Structure 1
């Protein structure tokens, strides 16, 4: 990737930060995290920062409760009692109460049987996604090609919200960085989770989830990344993915088609 003007552009970004009072949140490498199952509400992919949805032994989609229900407009209250968590969800239409480890829940004072028991793992309560959609009266559709569940909060049809990009890979080799240090356009150290984009297509600073690549130097399945770099040849639906290693070791990456999801702020 050609970055002959990286030093000047980094200076320009720094001046913009000082003038506009903007503090970049991208001071640390993005955390790589594979989502075996993804959840979209209307046109927005849900960001699960520390606990990912999964398919349990009965092939039931289990999702971290808080992130999904807050996106659906519920307030979440919970109480810990020993090893169990009692969770109460409220919005203008429904009140839902459930206890981790149990297959029964209360929806507006009526008892409902879940597809599978809610679970408490690593500080998060998981519940079957189908139960949430049914209890909230929100239809859900499944896109098998992307392992993506789409909740239609507004009742309209929504397609999987990703774009197909052509991707390449780049290293910290000075020859790929205009002779400058291993930093991105925004002045952050290059790390797993750094990608270069065309800012007219994806604004700088956007958080993304990418999948579909095949390379041993990247997390299997997919990962969260930040669009914090640019390149002279990165135009349109094109993305350059930073991967630690030598320039020669990345040549086998070649050109690959990937799916790119934007994560809303």
Structure 2
């Protein structure tokens, strides 16, 4: 294939071999944003492709020279290899390499000249050498790049809102990125990632909390998660969650100020307002925070601040007398919150 490299290259796999030859025969690889047509050559081993630039000035017996000021590097083939050359739309031509023949000499011997806006692709993936000359080429290269780990977040009603708890640590790794590279008229037209494979990073998993101390105004219960001890979680329509230590079925009535001698100051000294409720302090201790729902009607957050009822009953403060009449008396559930 390439003269004087058979013994050194033979133990390597094909991908390693072609780049070992490129490093030694071509001396260096320049990554430049725009490559002149007369200077661009693509060498491939069937798995990876390398673009190299022809140094100037160029002597007649040199085909590929990169980064060598004196233009002394050259690409030579071993003897006896069949060569297939395709030049644009011209018919395929065949030849056999001679001992220490340079690629430039081979093309000249076949009567082929590379035009000013053409490029040369040399494929050494098989014992037979394939050379293609064209104005545009598309090839694919695979690079190993750092890969940051991804993080998957899952909502948890057991974690306080605003907090994140990692339950499986992630780890950065590497990935193989396949790039589609397009050259036309000797210049790099585009280079974009088209595939990714062999990502070694480890995904991180974390909980995002939804647990709150108080429900939003007007929020309602979407579902209830109960534990065997009677505690549980209220999963709200808003996405928030409330933890309750227990629950009780109660009879609820409604009251407001200005009727039946009801004033504006509660038994605990607070001013009446919505969410203020009256309880039997022997059944529900004063200061208890609750969430109260009555089937299709949700009273919402409630604080035991007043007295005046007996047993498993709760009197709900309403803003108007009409609201009290509409509510009437309802079977309800009071969830006792933390």
Give the TM-score, by structure 2 length: 0.33
Comparing both structures, which one devotes a greater share of its residues to strand?
2
Between structure 1 and structure 2, the one with the greater Rg is: 2
Give the TM-score, by structure 1 length: 0.41
Comparing both structures, which one devotes a greater share of its residues to helix?
1
Higher relative contact order (CA 8 A, sep 6+): 1
